[in-house]
Amino acid sequence: MELRVLRYFLMVVNERNISRAAEKLHVSQPTISRQLKDLEDELGVTLFVRGSRSIDLTEAGEYFATQARQIVVLADKAVANVNQTQELTGSIMIGSAEAPMMTTVAQAIARLAVSAPQVHVGIYSTDANEVHSRLNAGVFDFGVVMEPIAKDDMDFINLPGTTAWGLLVRQDSPLAQKHAISADDLVDQRIVMPQQHGSIDYLANWLGASDRELNVVATYNLLYNASIMVDAGVGATLCLDGIINTASSDLRFIPLAPRLEAKSSLIWPKHTPLSPAATAFLRALRSLLPSNH
């Protein structure tokens, strides 16, 4: 089993598409397909479930992706440590929920671009559920998630700043005239809810009663799409402030009362060695944090 084949495999895991993986690797699609088939034959397991448009990992594939990522990271780290004079290169993939606190992460990326210009950073916008899954599969190096979320199997850094939960409504909604939204205001509304389990539990606790149920007509994982549903009249969306710019739009964000704040964290798997590029990013991020953070 060669490192080159593991890199092919991990690129396909990341892209979920052989054609895109082949394009990024600058090799032919038949080459990738043949190498993956040889790898499955060598291991004696099926790594992928191949669909018409994308491919997904089997349970064995999820496990092997985690192990393969660690092997490649260790190999890259060993090479970098042997040749300290070589300019730092590599790539970092960050899976991120939509959060205003991404500002600190963006500043760290900018600082890294100065100290290590050959390192490429990719941002993949998704929800915390997929961030967790892809971190464990070795696809993401880091994740940015909204609290509360279970972090028992993760190392983490709490990012500075907070934002507030509120309701995104159309300007012609009766609620648009309010300065704050109470739990009672939501009872008769058509609600579009976030999909993240931690957020759902957090909001349920804010409602203040176990038997209080909302009329949830749709769910979302990216707020931009949810804002389109609000604009189309599907319902009002429970969401975080500072993500959708409502200026010059037909939408209005109204905070919840009592105020419900949200924080975010940068997370990465425990006991998984970081690549030199990922270590450099983490160093850049920590340099931006307050001394007591």
Residues in the chain, pLDDT under 50: none
Check whether domain 87-162+263-293 has CATH 3.40.50.850, yes or no: no
List own/partner pairs for 33-39 with CB under 8 A and 24 or more apart.
35/5, 35/8, 35/9, 36/8, 36/9, 36/12, 38/5, 39/1, 39/5, 39/9
pLDDT of residue 258: 94
264 to each of 4, 46, 86, 182, 278, how far by Cα in Å?
A: 36, 37, 35, 24, 19
pLDDT of residue 144: 95
Segments making up each domain of the chain, as ranges: 1-86, 87-162+263-293, 163-261
pLDDT of residue 70: 80
pLDDT of residue 15: 86
CATH number of 163-261: 3.40.190.10
pLDDT of residue 14: 87
Rounded to the nearest angstrom, the gap between the alpha carbon of residue 148 and the centroid of all alpha carbons in its chain is: 15
Per-residue pLDDT tens digits for 31-81: 999 998 999 999 999 998 887 677 888 999 888 988 888 888 778 767 765
The predicted model scores a pTM of: 0.70
Whether 1-86 shares its CATH topology with 87-162+263-293 is answered: no
CATH number of 1-86: 1.10.10.10
